[in-house]
């Protein structure tokens, strides 16, 4: 190249301009243009020199286009992967002298991008005055997004609780607990004695039957307690018509399930001692005597409130000439505590966060006014789902919570539960989404008749949507299954709503638990206390962040307590059997008239 020429000029930076390179390769008379440019640099190029310079220019610019395409293909593939799409259609806005100045640049960009990311169909759109028009459009969009963000924040602000808010809930819970233990009629917490005085000590032995009724599913178990515990169980469904029917039909159905279980597991004609986990508010008059105070969690069987549930069960057994000996009736929280206490002696608290929510703990007998005696401990069933029923939590109830409350069968009751439990969180989210649609913040403000359907947005959706590592496509799938057509921004906003609602639930639960552990610490006059909470429930176990947020809230609000949360395995059934095992040491169940 340039044989016999002085090429010193080519050693000077920027001697050859990019625009000149484009003219050499882009014009039909590119060879003539090459000669003109080279001669202007003081060179005397031959025909071969001009041809080779043109080849070099094409190679350099083509490489630039191919490398640009490789980078773009990486971006497109990443977008397709994160949105979990098999095929993606996308428009790419392009501006720049190099792109416009070389006709082959676009062809190379298109072909190489298509080769490296075949799952993405990219259409390249040239932009005119992108800097000026684009800046104006971005400014306009930014103003619109800022206004939208402000509206979203204003709508979600009442659900975002400050540390001061949580401390106030903690204080109110403590006050309600103390008033409940004193039998104050104005408190929202019943603080019911369970007549469970001791947790397992490891010496329990035998074979026991256990029943677990506390939601739409009913379980029957046989629990064999020896050096270890072996459990065999069956799950039976309680149809809605039985949940809402007569008490006789409900308890007859339970006996039918027990009979079926015993037939399946070679227990026919055996009368085992039975522990009954009955997870509804009861006034316990003895270990095997509990009067139902009210139904919750969708149950409303007639003829049961005010009756001893053990007697109702035994009457159903007598109607069917079925042998039954109930030695203990407990709440699911007590069962969870007893189950975990078998593995960890420090477990003195039970917590359920599932269809409903409740807690129990070991209280000093001297503080339990409704039962005689000053010595030792008594497990107290708090029935904390009713916390706030007297109006003490009205300031944290939002318009969405009130809408959910109005559609329930127990309006104005179980108000704390309606902020926390799995039966209601999906409905809270649904009402927030509807409000956002009305304000043109979601789904472009288009009517969403599907969202008008009660319970269509399941609480389990919150758990799925908040799993780390899952792209927003998972949110889109859920919404599409509801016959909605969400944009990327819609999906992100729905996820934010779900996170806000579930975070509030975990924090409120944590504030309540902080009140419990601090009371136990004060009862015992300790500077610091270590205690274990046996925890169970579908929301606690299945939501990816609930347990962590709960733990963090308790640590923040009760710094003088080291609280370990132990997830219960089969707590309600195993716990009921363990209460029966402890009770079987005595000839007669402990009873308080």
What is the set of active-site residues?
219, 279, 332
Give CA–CA dist 509/563, Å, rounded. Answer: 14
Q: Residues 212, 575: contact at Cβ < 8 Å?
A: no
Dihedral of CA 575/581/582/584: which sign? positive
Give CA–CA dist 371/13, Å, rounded. Answer: 96
Give CA–CA dist 102/27, Å, rounded. Answer: 9
Read off the tokens for 448: 């969403």
β-bridge pairing 529-536 and 347-353: parallel
Number of residues assigned to the chain: 593
3 state DSSP class of 183? coil
Instruction: Give the contacts of 14 (CB within 8 A, at least 6 positions apart).
Output: none
Give CA–CA dist 70/114, Å, rounded. Answer: 10
Give CA–CA dist 149/129, Å, rounded. Answer: 29
- Residue 307: CB atoms within 10 A of its CB come to 14
Give CA–CA dist 423/217, Å, rounded. Answer: 14
Which residue's structure tokens are 């000026």? 132
3 state DSSP class of 28? coil
Supply angle C-alpha 532, 214, 588, rounded to 5.
Answer: 75
3 state DSSP class of 592? coil
Read off the tokens for 321: 């000439």
Which residue's structure tokens are 């318009």? 399
How many DSSP H helices and E strands does the chain contain? 20, 15
Residue 297's closest CA among 220, 385, 377?
A: 385
DSSP of 224-243: EESSSEEEEEEEEE--HHHH
DSSP state at residue 302 = B
Instruction: Give the contacts of 410 (CB within 8 A, at least 6 positions apart).
Output: 294, 295, 296
Give CA–CA dist 210/219, Å, rounded. Answer: 8
Residue 388's closest CA among 357, 361, 425, 427?
A: 357
Instruction: Give the contacts of 100 (CB within 8 A, at least 6 positions apart).
Output: 126
């Amino acid at each position: 190249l340039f044989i016999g020429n002085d090429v010193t000029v080519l050693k000077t930076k920027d001697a050859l301009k990019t625009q000149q390179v484009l003219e050499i390769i882009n014009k039909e008379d590119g060879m003539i243009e090459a000669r003109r440019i080279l001669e202007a640099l003081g060179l005397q190029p031959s025909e071969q020199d001009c041809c080779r310079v043109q080849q070099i220019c094409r190679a350099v610019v083509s490489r630039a286009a191919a490398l640009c395409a490789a980078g773009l293909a990486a971006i497109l593939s990443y977008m397709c992967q994160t949105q979990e799409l098999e095929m993606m259609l996308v428009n790419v806005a392009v501006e720049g002298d190099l792109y416009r100045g070389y006709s082959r640049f676009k062809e190379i960009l298109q072909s190489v991008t298509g080769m490296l990311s075949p799952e993405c169909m990219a259409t390249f759109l040239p932009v005119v005055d992108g800097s000026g028009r684009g800046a104006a459009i971005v400014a306009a969009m930014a103003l619109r997004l800022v206004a939208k963000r402000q509206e979203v924040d204003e709508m979600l602000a009442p659900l975002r609780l400050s540390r001061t808010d949580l401390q106030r809930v903690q204080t109110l819970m403590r006050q309600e607990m103390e008033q409940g233990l004193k039998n104050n009629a104005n408190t929202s917490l019943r603080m019911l004695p369970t007549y469970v005085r001791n947790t397992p000590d490891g010496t329990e032995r035998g074979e026991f039957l256990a029943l677990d009724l506390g939601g739409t599913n009913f379980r029957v178990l046989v629990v064999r307690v020896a050096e270890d515990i072996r459990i065999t169980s069956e799950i039976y469904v309680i149809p809605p018509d039985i949940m809402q029917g007569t008490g006789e039909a409900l308890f007859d159905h339970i006996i039918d399930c027990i009979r079926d279980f015993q037939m399946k597991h070679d227990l026919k004609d055996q009368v085992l001692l039975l522990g009954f986990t009955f997870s509804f508010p009861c006034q316990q008059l003895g270990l095997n005597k509990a009067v139902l105070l009210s139904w919750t969690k969708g149950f409303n069987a007639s003829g049961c409130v005010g009756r001893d549930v053990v007697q109702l069960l035994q009457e159903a057994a007598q109607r069917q000439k079925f042998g039954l000996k109930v030695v203990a009736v407990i709440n699911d929280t007590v069962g969870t505590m007893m189950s975990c206490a078998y593995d960890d002696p420090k477990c003195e608290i039970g917590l359920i966060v599932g269809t409903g929510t409740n807690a129990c703990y070991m209280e000093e007998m001297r503080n339990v006014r409704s039962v005689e005696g000053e010595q030792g401990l008594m497990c107290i069933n708090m029935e904390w789902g009713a916390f706030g029923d007297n109006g003490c939590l009205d300031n944290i109830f939002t318009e969405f919570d009130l809408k959910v409350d109005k559609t329930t069968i127990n309006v104005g009751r179980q108000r704390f539960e309606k902020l926390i439990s799995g039966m209601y969180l999906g409905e809270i989210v649904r009402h927030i989404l509807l409000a956002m649609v009305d304000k043109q913040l979601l789904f472009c403000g288009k009517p969403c008749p599907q969202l008008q359907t009660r319970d269509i947005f399941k609480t389990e959706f919150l758990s799925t949507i908040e799993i780390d590592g899952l792209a927003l496509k998972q949110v889109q799938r859920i919404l599409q299954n509801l016959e909605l057509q969400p944009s990327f921004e819609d999906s992100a906003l729905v996820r934010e709503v779900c996170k806000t609602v579930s975070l509030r639930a975990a924090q409120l639960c944590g504030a309540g638990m902080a009140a419990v552990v601090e009371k136990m610490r004060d009862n015992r006059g300790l500077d610091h206390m270590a205690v274990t909470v046996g925890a169970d429930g579908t929301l606690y176990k299945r939501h990816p962040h609930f347990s962590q947020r709960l733990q963090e809230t308790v640590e923040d609000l009760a710094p003088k307590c080291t609280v370990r949360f132990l997830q219960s395995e089969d707590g309600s059934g195993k716990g009921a059997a363990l209460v029966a095992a402890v009770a079987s040491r005595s000839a007669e169940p402990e009873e308080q008239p």
